[in-house]
Amino acid sequence: MSHVRHLWVKPNNLSEASWHMQNKHNEWIIYAYSEFLKRHKVNSVLILFEYGEDFQISKDLCSNLGIDDMVMWLPKSPRKDILKIMNYIDIGIGEFYSDFETTWGGALIEFLSRGKPVIHGLNISQTKFETNYGSELPPILVANSSAEIADKIEYLFLNKNKIKEIGKSSKSWFDKYCGRGLAAKFVNLLN
C-alpha cells in the first residue's frame, strides 16, 4: 500500500532543479509492481489512493501496463481511516525523492507506527542521519529506482518471515524515537 500523494509528472512552470526536489516518483511503484507480477503469478493487490495532482495519470499507467485488476484505488481519505487500513496490509511503500539527504514525510512514520515493513527512497548515510536527527535510521528497505522497489517486494514475498521481523523492528523504532520515547522527552522537558 502507498497512500502518498501522486506527484511525478513535471509541471511546465518548474525548473529541473525545483522538480528534482519535489518529484515523489510514484510511477516507480507502479512499474515495480508490474515487474513483480511478471516474476510471480500471485493473487495480490496494490492499494493506492486518488490523491495528488497525478493520480489519474497513475491510473492510466496501471491500465497501460495491464495491471488494473491488481490495483485497488481508494478515495482520498482521512489519516485516521488510512491508519485503520494499515492494520490489514503486509507492506508499506513510501516516497522516492531523488534529492540528496531528503528523508521522509508522514507516510513512512505512519507505517512504522503500525509495525509494517516499508520500502522507501533514501539518499543519506547512517552517520549523517544520526548526526542530523539524533537517532539511528529506521529499519526501512531502501530503494532508489523502480527495479530496486521490485526487488524489495520480491524479497519480502520470498521471505515472508521478514515481514513480521522487520515490522516488529519498525514498531520498536517508532516507539523509541517517535512514540513513547518522544513523549517521555517532552514530559522530562516540561518537568
Q: What confidence score (pLDDT) does residue 97 get?
A: 81
For 46, phi and psi rounded to 5 degrees?
-95, 125
Query: Per-residue b/e over 14-30, b at no fewer than 16 CB within 10 Å?
Result: eeeeebeeebbbbbbbb
Q: pLDDT averaged over the chain?
A: 90
d(CA 107, CA 49) in angstroms, rounded, equals 12
For helices 160-177 and 146-158, the axis angle rounded to 10 degrees is 110
Q: Lowest-confidence range among 27-36, 82-91, 106-115, 164-173?
A: 106-115
The tens digit of pLDDT for each residue in 29-69 reads: 999 999 999 999 999 999 999 999 999 999 999 999 999 99
Could you tell me which of 67, 35, 36, 29 has the C-alpha nearest to residue 158?
Answer: 36
Q: How confident is the model at residue 118 (pLDDT cuts 50, 70, 90)?
A: very high
CA dihedral of residues 124, 128, 130, 133 (deg, nearest 10): -80
* Helix, strand, coil distribution of the chain in percent, nearest 5: 50, 10, 40
d(CA 162, CA 14) in angstroms, rounded, equals 41
Q: How confident is the model at residue 177 (pLDDT cuts 50, 70, 90)?
A: confident
Cell 492494520, residue located: 87
Q: What confidence score (pLDDT) does residue 103 get?
A: 60
pTM, whole model, 2 decimals? 0.90
The tens digit of pLDDT for each residue in 84-93 reads: 999 999 999 9
Domains of the chain in start order, with CATH, are 16-190 (3.40.50.2000)
